[in-house]
A and B are shown apart, each in its own frame.
Chain A
Amino acid sequence: MNAQAAGGMPEITYNFAYLDEQTKRMIRRAILKAIAVPGYQVPFAAREMPMPYGWGTGGVQVTAAVLGPDDVLKVIDQGADDTTNAVAIRGFFEKTARVATTTSTQAATLIQTRHRVPETPLRENQILVYQVPIPEPLRFLEPRETETRQLHALAEYGLMHVKLYEDIARHGHIATTYAYPVEVAGRYVMDPSPIPKFDNPKLDDCPALQLFGAGREKRIYAIPPHTRVRSLDFEDHPFRVQRFAQSCALCAASGVYLDEVILDDKGGRMFVCSDTDYCNGRQEAGHRGEMAGEGA
């Protein structure tokens, strides 16, 4: 990427995928450690990136560190390839790494995501990179990093169970709908990032490598392929995902995560797939929802 040479200023050039090789090596080391200790938050020296903190700098750094010239990259935000931040991040790698990009979950070798896991099951040799805002699952129960690291070290997760129990006592069920905590490989409790809990079961025994990057908080963690990931629950209150009464208005899919779209100010609304690639694929295969036009 070249900065505009202004008024005789020297031209600025950047390395493949923006980060210099030493930085990538440092991040790869953190990733390897994260894979070796599933669910454990590995501190890493996150760099400033040319996009704001909280907008995916952790995910972008992880992607930059593992991306090779032959990779095919897909970037989604809220399940969609065409949300503005996904477009911006995809554009960043097109510009700085000149890699091939795709919107197809099948065709991608590396998928960076914010807030969703694709509906199409992932396969081996794929990497799913999550953007993580707050990596610490215990953060809102205990604000201090010095404390939470100790709690993890001791596997002392009573706080979390008490919180979930209090939800049940107060509301009759667990009132966490996204960023729902999971236990990884029977050891660390982990924040799966703010994906809806609907997506939690997809993390379990997933054939793809799942990497989580939190740039501002300087943490990387991972779920290696085929790792047991259990959403926290109680015997008498087992974990349950959201269910939608409707099916997708465009592709008629059911059992997928839907976005609610307000159509007018008279209460008109429709539900459509949050995963645009999945929805398009079904429409191309001839599935028609109640609001899809003919042969769109």
Chain B
Amino acid sequence: MYVAAKGGEKAIRNAHALLAKRRRGNTNLPSITLDQIAQQLTLAVDRVMAEGSLYDVELAALAVKQARGDLIEAIFLIRAFRTTLPRFGYARALDTARMLVRRRVSATYKDLPGGQLLGPTFDYTHRLLDTSLGVADEAEGVADQTDQAGEAEAPVAMPRVTDLLGQEGLIEGAPADDGSEPFDITRAPVSFPVDRSTRLQTLARGDEGYLLALGYSTQRGYGRSHPFVGEIRFGDVEVMFEAPELGFEVSLGTVQVTECQSVNQFKGSATTPPQFTRGYGLVFGQCERKAMSMALVERALRWEELGEEPGAPAQDEEFVLSHSDNVQATGFVEHLKLPHYVDFQAELDLVRRMRAEQAAEMKEAAE
């Protein structure tokens, strides 16, 4: 007698129990703490906060731990939590000129007001495996030195490179804040073409690898936009919020962000003299690769308003923005492992029928 496969419920329970066990690993080793993740896997936590669109170091660390280090899974956990949070309102636009800068480099000027500040960066390291990190407690005392070298100083206003260029009118003006509410892609369905706030929000939570590849493609001739990195800065900025019942601004605390402003060529048009244009990237945490990629892609997507030739993948707004979300992408790609046997049965039937018809025709032709 045949009994159809049953027991999905039990199988799921067992799989989850096994997952919990695998996540914990060898119980002779101490369980990794959230503080350890937040302190020592900072960039993983930053990426989870950035693409999870939620600034909460502790929850992001928890998500990394729960997801066994699978960052897209961790981002997914954060998103599913974030979506349940109420909205109190929109913060004032961040003033990144008043950032407590921990790192700031410009590729367009050798020196500039505020100076170049390397900060904590992998740049210029030799990528040689450091076996001294393999032992439990590695050397200490380095952190203090960096603090003295610039971290944790009082915030001083550090003008942005684009502002300096703007004084001469060499670069297009920064889009003015008209005080209107931004479009919120988590609260309203997006329709194309999109406005700037929608574009930037979508890119800000977009997958790092995806934006990296698209940004890279613009450098290789697919929608070339001749970029210079005007400036990258990373540090702490204060989040200001004006509660309607208070009538004045209050500080909600600080968040760490990476901002990248690219400076791109623009030949000018009939009505506009030649000037540089901007690409903008802003990401939670220290996510430099993502911020730069975002700036490249953001600029590429602006081809129409700047009267450029379309045609490259990175310029295709609907394509770029519709496929940038890794939580959506991973869900839909991985749903292919769900059962599809009803539809497959329908296809089986069709293929068999078509093969039978073809065989009959060939037989007829042969006779």
A residues sitting closer than 8 Å to B (CB atoms) are 6-7, 9, 12, 14-15, 18-20, 43-50, 52-55, 57, 77-80, 82-88, 91, 114-116, 133, 144-146, 171-172, 175, 177-179, 194-198, 216, 218-219, 242, 249-250, 257-261, 263, 270, 272, 274, 276, 291-293, 296
**With A52-B330, A87-B9 as given contacts, are A9 and B342 in contact (CB-CB < 8 Å)?**
no
Q: Mark B80-98, 1 if CB is under 8 A from A, else 0.
A: 1111101000000000000
Whole-angstrom CA separation of A126 from B271 in the bound complex: 62
Main SS at interface, chain B = helix
Other CB < 8 Å A-B pairs besides A177-B350, A261-B4, 16 of them? Answer: A6-B62, A7-B33, A45-B189, A48-B79, A52-B327, A53-B327, A54-B333, A77-B339, A85-B338, A86-B8, A88-B12, A194-B340, A195-B342, A216-B331, A249-B2, A257-B345
Which residues of chain B have C-beta atoms less than 8 A from A15's C-beta? 84
Which residues of chain A have C-beta atoms less than 8 A from B189's C-beta? 43-46, 218-219
**With A45-B188, A198-B346 as given contacts, are A270 and B2 in contact (CB-CB < 8 Å)?**
yes
Q: Of A18, A177, A194, A292, which contacts B84 at CB under 8 A?
A: A18
On whether the beta carbons of A291 and B192 are closer than 8 Å, the reply is: no
Q: Which of B263-314 contact A (CB under 8 A)?
A: none
Main SS at interface, chain A = loop
Which residues of chain A have C-beta atoms less than 8 A from B346's C-beta? 177-178, 196-198, 242
Q: How many residues of B contact A (CB 8 A)?
A: 55
Sorted nearest first, the 5 A-B pairs with minimum C-beta distance are A53-B331, A54-B335, A52-B331, A293-B1, A177-B346
Which A-chain residue is minimally distant from B361 (CB atoms)?
A: A172
Which A-chain residue is minimally distant from B86 (CB atoms)?
A: A20
**Between-chain CB contacts (< 8 Å), 16 pairs:** A6-B34, A6-B62, A52-B334, A78-B341, A80-B4, A82-B9, A83-B8, A84-B12, A175-B354, A177-B343, A177-B350, A178-B342, A216-B331, A257-B342, A272-B2, A274-B345
B198 CB to closest chain A CB, in angstroms? 13
The answer to whether the Cβ of B11 comes within 8 Å of any Cβ in the partner chain is: yes
Which A-chain residue is minimally distant from B79 (CB atoms)?
A: A48
The answer to whether the Cβ of B249 comes within 8 Å of any Cβ in the partner chain is: no
Of A86, A216, A293, chain B has the most CB atoms within 10 Å of the CB of A216
Whole-angstrom CA separation of A218 from B334 in the bound complex: 19
The answer to whether the Cβ of B70 comes within 8 Å of any Cβ in the partner chain is: no
Which residues of chain A have C-beta atoms less than 8 A from B330's C-beta? 52-53
On whether the beta carbons of A216 and B2 are closer than 8 Å, the reply is: no
Whole-angstrom CA separation of A218 from B76 in the bound complex: 17
The answer to whether the Cβ of B186 comes within 8 Å of any Cβ in the partner chain is: yes
Q: Of B76, B193, B335, which contacts A133 at CB under 8 A?
A: B335
Whole-angstrom CA separation of A88 from B338 in the bound complex: 12
On whether the beta carbons of A87 and B341 are closer than 8 Å, the reply is: no
On whether the beta carbons of A79 and B342 are closer than 8 Å, the reply is: yes
Whole-angstrom CA separation of A85 from B76 in the bound complex: 18
Which residues of chain B have C-beta atoms less than 8 A from A55's C-beta? 331, 334-335, 338
Which residues of chain B have C-beta atoms less than 8 A from A293's C-beta? 1
